[in-house]
């Protein structure tokens, strides 16, 4: 119980959206026509239909400490500067305090995310060679689950200060995902549960021959640091590759 109370306190103070410069356009709230569920979307002002745009799917953590609107606000500047479309779905299987990534909820979230990406593909020119799924905190549950099950869609996976449960991905991922670049990072002063579960994820994935890079961010706690994820995405960007804006 003590770690739960400590985690709640740290989450309440450590989930603030990092400040970023303003963008020339605003994100919009959309609704997936198949599932009826909501998501936030940012389409950069630089978007042109004749040029494919990379896609970032970002998974929020435990509500109300972390919600989809937080994610679109933290990512919209990176989307603008790097010509990426960003989507932040409103998820149901991301409780990292009292939850453990329930399979039924993640399958529901998976259906929603796949439907959402398919819907976007009809309306925008998505660069299918460059699609990142990333999550923060409890958003690690769907990030690992969905990312490892769909290497045909997601070209890299980034877990940012994330929860992880071996039991909810064991037997669910596909062997093709072994080629998917994965980054796992967390803060030096993150809650113990985040540090230990990140360590469990690293050990599990490496034991199964996944390609995993790791980073412990010095002098930080439960902080988002989208710049680190963006750099990893950029470093694994398939050509043609623009200059990275951070």
pLDDT of residue 1: 41
Q: To the nearest whole percent, how much of the chain has pLDDT over 90?
A: 83
239 pLDDT tier (thresholds 50, 70, 90):
confident
pLDDT value of residue 98:
80
pLDDT tens digits along 99-140? 777 889 999 999 999 999 999 999 999 999 999 999 999 999
Task: Kindly report, residue by residue over 122-132, the tens digit of the pLDDT.
Answer: 999 999 999 99
Q: What is the length of the chain?
A: 246
Domain membership flag for residue 244: no
In the predicted model, what is the mean pLDDT of residues 226-243?
88
Helix (H/G/I), strand (E/B), else coil: 66: coil
Q: Which domain holds residue 45?
A: 2-16+27-235
**Tokens coding 47:** 């978007």
CA dist 63 and 233 (Å) reads 26
Q: Which of the four pLDDT bands, split at 50, 70 and 90, describes residue 169?
A: very high
pLDDT above 80 for 22: yes
Percent of the chain clearing pLDDT 70 (strictly above): 91
In this structure, is residue 151 part of a structural domain?
yes
The pLDDT value given to residue 245: 67
Query: How many domains, the chain?
Result: 1
- Token representation of residue 207: 């034991």
Residue carrying the six token digits 């500067």: 81
Q: Whole-angstrom Cα distance, residue 162 to residue 158? A: 9
Q: For residue range 28-65, what is the model confidence (pLDDT) as tens digits?
A: 999 999 999 999 999 999 999 999 999 999 999 999 99
Q: pTM of whole model > 0.75? A: yes
> What ranges make up the beta strands (E) of the chain?
28-31, 38-42, 53-59, 85-89, 126-136, 156-160, 182-187, 212-217
Domain annotation covers residue 129: yes
| Host H or E run for residue 150 | none
Q: Is residue 243 part of a domain?
A: no
- Enumerate the H helices of 83-181 as residue ranges: 103-123, 140-149
3-state secondary structure 43-60: CCCCCCCCCCEEEEEEEC
In a domain, 165, yes or no: yes
162 located within any domain = yes
pLDDT grade, residue 242 (50/70/90)?
low
Could you tell me if 101 and 163 are in contact, meaning their C-beta atoms sit under 8 angstroms apart?
yes
103 by DSSP, 3-state: which?
A: helix
Torsion of CA 161, 166, 168, 171, to 10 degrees: 130
Does residue 13 have a pLDDT over 60?
A: no
Mean pLDDT of the chain: 91
Write the pLDDT tens digit of every residue in 57-93: 999 999 999 999 999 999 999 999 999 999 999 999 9
Cα–Cα distance, 181 to 233 (Å, whole number): 9
In CATH, what number is assigned to the domain containing residue 194? 3.40.50.1820
Q: How far, in Å, CA of 184 to CA of 128, rounded? A: 23
Residue 226 burial class via C-beta count within 10 angstroms: exposed 0-12, middle 13-18, buried 19 and up: buried
Flag whether pLDDT at 246 surpasses 70. no
In a domain, 57, yes or no: yes
């Amino acid at each position: 119980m003590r770690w739960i109370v400590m985690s709640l306190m740290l989450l309440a103070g450590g989930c603030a959206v990092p400040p970023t410069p303003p963008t020339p356009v605003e994100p919009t709230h959309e609704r997936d026509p198949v599932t009826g569920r909501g998501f936030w979307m940012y389409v950069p002002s630089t978007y042109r239909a004749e040029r494919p745009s990379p896609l970032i799917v970002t998974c929020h953590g435990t509500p109300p400490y972390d919600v989809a609107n937080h994610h679109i606000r933290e990512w919209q500047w990176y989307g603008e500067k790097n010509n990426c479309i960003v989507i932040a779905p409103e998820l149901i299987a991301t409780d990292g305090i009292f939850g453990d990534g329930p399979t039924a909820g993640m399958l529901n979230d998976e259906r929603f995310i796949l439907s959402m990406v398919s819907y976007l593909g009809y309306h925008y020119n998505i660069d299918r060679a460059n699609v990142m799924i990333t999550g923060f905190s409890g958003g690690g549950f769907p990030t690992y689950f969905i990312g490892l099950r769909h290497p045909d869609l997601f070209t890299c996976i980034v877990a940012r200060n994330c929860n992880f449960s071996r039991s909810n991905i064991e037997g669910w991922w596909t062997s093709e995902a072994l080629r998917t670049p994965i980054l796992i990072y967390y803060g030096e002063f993150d809650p113990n549960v985040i540090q230990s579960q990140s360590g469990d994820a690293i050990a599990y994935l490496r034991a199964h021959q996944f390609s995993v890079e790791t980073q412990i961010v010095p002098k930080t706690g439960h902080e988002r640091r989208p710049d680190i994820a963006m750099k990893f995405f950029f470093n694994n960007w398939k050509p043609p590759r623009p200059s990275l804006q951070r």
